[in-house]
Amino acid sequence: MNKIKVLFLCTANSSRSQMAEAFLRSYAGDRFEAYSAGFDPKPIHPLTKKVMDEIGIDISSQRSKGLMEYMGKIHFGYIITVCNEADENCPTTFPGLGQRLRWNLEDPTKFVGSDGEKRNKFREIRDQIKRLVSEWVDDQGRS
């Protein structure tokens, strides 16, 4: 069985899209191939790794990637933008695209607060992404 390829697209590919990639791989890696990329890739934020470790998901093998690494090279059954910026910057015609979905999530890297407050913001966004991925996987099982 060929797995459906899913690209999570963000601005920096340092947090939200990395989490979504890891959750999809964890929940449905037998049915989907998970990828992530950004328009302006930055290194994975240390708090992204820490909050994923807290729930037993190791993302140390993941790396930040730019969209051009995949554009025109891989057919994606789904592209899921995880922020408004990515949605606005995503080409309207994307070679090899099946469906495009939009999840507008707050960027935890831009949150201003104490170290503990920042970690809590990353946890909040992690938990939102976990729920969205889980619900999306469940919906795919019903279709």
DSSP secondary structure string, 21-61? HHHHHHHHTTTEEEEEEESS--PPPHHHHHHHHHTT---TT
The pLDDT of residue 89 is 61
State the pTM of this model. Answer: 0.92
How far is 111 from 23, CA to CA, in rounded Å?
A: 22
pLDDT at 1 over 70: no
Provide the terminal-to-terminal Cα distance of the chain, rounded to the nearest Å. 17
Torsion of CA 69, 72, 75, 78, to 10 degrees: 70
CATH number corresponding to 4-142: 3.40.50.2300
Domain boundaries, the chain: 4-142
Active site residues: 10, 83, 90
The pLDDT of residue 131 is 98
CB 20 within 8 A of CB 57: no
pLDDT at 119 over 90: yes
Confidence category of residue 39, pLDDT binned at 50, 70, 90: confident
What is the pLDDT averaged over residues 61-88? Answer: 85
